[in-house]
Structure 1
Amino acid sequence: MNLSFQTQAGVLNVDIRSLIIAGWAGRDRDAVEHHIEELAALGIPRPSAVPLFYRVSSQQLTQSAAVQVLGAESSGEVETFVFHAAGELYVSIASDHTDRKLEAHSVAFSKQACVKPVATVAWKLADVAAHWDELVLRSWIREGGRDVLYQEGNLASLRSPQDLISGFTQGKTTLPAGCGMTCGTVGAIGGIRPATSFTMELFDPVRQQSLRHRYEAEILAEVE
């Protein structure tokens, strides 16, 4: 999938040919267990291992501000999105938008069922690596006519990209060229629930910069 990012050095065009969703990526086992219990309340089975690396079609990536989803049982979750391009690693944000109804049947199939919105701005990973744990993930959903904080947590609660990359590549220090990986999420405030408007942010308190992206989800009727 061809994606285009605005970077400090200009526009970066990258062809993502392989997409990995790193699941259960929390650094704190108690926090991981909390997220597992959140999903268990929705009937979603426990993972077979922690972390897990789900393979999803790269064609599911989109930078559009408007997406379509089947039925009203899907929801977004903000994650850092690390990818290899032009000889180095970059970081942006993506939403692992997931069909929660299907997730109760198969997590892998549920992740494939929905598109994965991605921001249009990226940073070099090297520019934030030294203070990675201080970066903050946030998301908001539209409820009752206003934006409500849905997720918030710093990256110290999640495994580092280097840790996840090493786990996926069996010890290598970087992703293959054209490979992108989402690196886990933080818990939902008030529980996981669907919304048709989702705003996500990665905030850097050291550099006072943010990556942000908002998308609207059109619900398509389920026809049987």
Structure 2
Amino acid sequence: MLTFDRISESGMDRIGVTPDQLIIAGWTGRDEAAVQHHIEELAAIGVPPPSSVPVYYRAAAANLTQAKRLEVLGPDSSGEVEPVLVSLADGLWLGLGSDHTDRKAEAAGIALSKQLCGKPIGQGLWRFAEVEGHWDALVLRAWATIGGQEVLYQDGTLAALRHPRDLLARRPGGPALPPGSLMFCGTLGAIGGIRPASRFTMELHDPVRGRSLRHAYEVVELPVIS
């Protein structure tokens, strides 16, 4: 079960949720030419292209975690901050999470790599209707601790990503996201390139309402034993 603090104009409450569906939307950049160029770059190094753009990967809902430590197998995984749409009985809410992914496995199959790692998600949620109109102004940031130093890893506005209504309209199965479902909505490029870290800190900032959601987790590498 996940625990969320729901923050809205009417106040704040806490709710327990047992999610039953996890969707990870990929290739959600708004600049279609740039997305295609990146697909071709990855294809040149052996990463298979997506079956559609955007593409909707499925992963086990049990992979979602709010723990402060994430155990991963080996040194080849990394986090990436994403806005997360959460569907509850009273409508849509917005939080943030990390699509932590095994990069070595990504070359064998992106869907496989998505499934191999836990998906950290923060406790804070905003009512989606309260930010929907200024989605493009929301700021997504992440910091990674690499070699003992914390560096800015990702930084940009959500104007770079497709609006969630667009993603929902294109989603197989229709635009309605059933209660109990969570959808990761895409990410921004990593500053200095994708690389592993011992700690990952993420933030979703709303400059219009002057508030932020934050979450952080330690990454613990398990040995690869053959």
Per the shorter chain, which TM-score range?
over 0.9
Describe how 1:106-121 pairs up with structure 2 within 5 A. Answer: 106-121=109-124
Match of 2:5 in 1: 6
The residue aligned with 1:186 is 188
Q: 1: CA distance between counterparts of 2:115 and 2:216? A: 21
Structure 1's consecutive aligned runs of 4 or more residues displaced over 4 angstroms after TM superposition are 37-42
Q: What is the identity, as a one-letter code, of the residue corresponding to 1:136? A: V
Deviations 1:169-219 (A, max 9, x none): 5543x3111111000001011111111211111111111111110000100
- How far 1:40 moved relative to its partner? 4.9
Q: Any unmatched runs of 5+ in structure 1?
A: none
* TM-score normalized by the length of structure 1: 0.94
For residue 32 of structure 1, report the CA deviation from its aligned partner. Answer: 2.0
Task: Name the CA distance, whole Å, in 2 between partners of 1:182 and 1:11.
Answer: 21
Number of the residue aligned with 1:127: 130
Retained in 1: the 8 A contact 2:146–2:196?
A: no
Distance 1:175 1:49, change over 3 A: same
The CA distance in 2 between the partners of 1:123 and 1:205, in whole Å, is 14
> 2:146 touches 2:198 (CA, 8 Å); kept in 1?
no
Which residues in structure 2 correspond to 1:38-117 (within 5 Å)? 39-40=42-43, 43-117=46-120
Identity level (%): 53
User: Which residue of 212, 218, 221 corresponds with 2:214?
Assistant: 212
Q: Which letter maps to 1:6?
A: D
How big is the shift at 1:72? 0.3
Alpha-carbon separation, structure 2, partners of 1:208 and 1:84: 24
Asked whether 1:142 is paired with 2:145, we answer yes
Q: What TM-score comes out, normalization by structure 2 length?
A: 0.93
Residue 222 of structure 1 pairs with residue 221 of structure 2: no
User: What's the offset of the Cα at 1:14?
Assistant: 1.7
**C-alpha deviation, 1:157, in angstroms:** 0.8
Contact 1:83 1:179 in 2 (8 A): yes
What is the RMSD computed on CA atoms of the aligned residues?
1.6
Q: Quick one: which amino acid aligns to residue 217 of structure 1?
A: V
Matched, 1:24 2:27: yes
Secondary structure, aligned partner of 1:163: helix
Change (3 A) 1:31 1:203: farther
User: Residues of 2 paired with 1:169 and 1:99: CA distance?
Assistant: 25
Q: Which amino acid aligns with 1:123?
A: W
1:194-209 alignment, distance < 5 Å: 194-209=196-211
- In the alignment, the residues of structure 2 paired with residue 41 and residue 169 of structure 1 have an alpha-carbon distance, to the nearest angstrom, of 28
Instruction: Give the aligned residue type for 1:143.
Output: I
Counterparts of 1:38 and 1:54, CA distance in 2: 20
Residue deviations 1:115-147 (CA, integer Å, cap 9, x gap): 000001111001111111100111110123221
Contact 1:38 1:191 (C-alpha < 8 Å) held by counterparts: no
Name the count of aligned residue pairs: 222
What SS does structure 1 have at the residue aligned with 2:131? helix
Partner residue of 1:161 out of 158, 161, 164: 164
Q: Matches of 2:44 and 2:145 in 1, distance apart?
A: 23
Aligned-pair CA distance for 1:92: 0.4
Which amino acid letter does the alignment assign opposite residue 193 of structure 2?
G
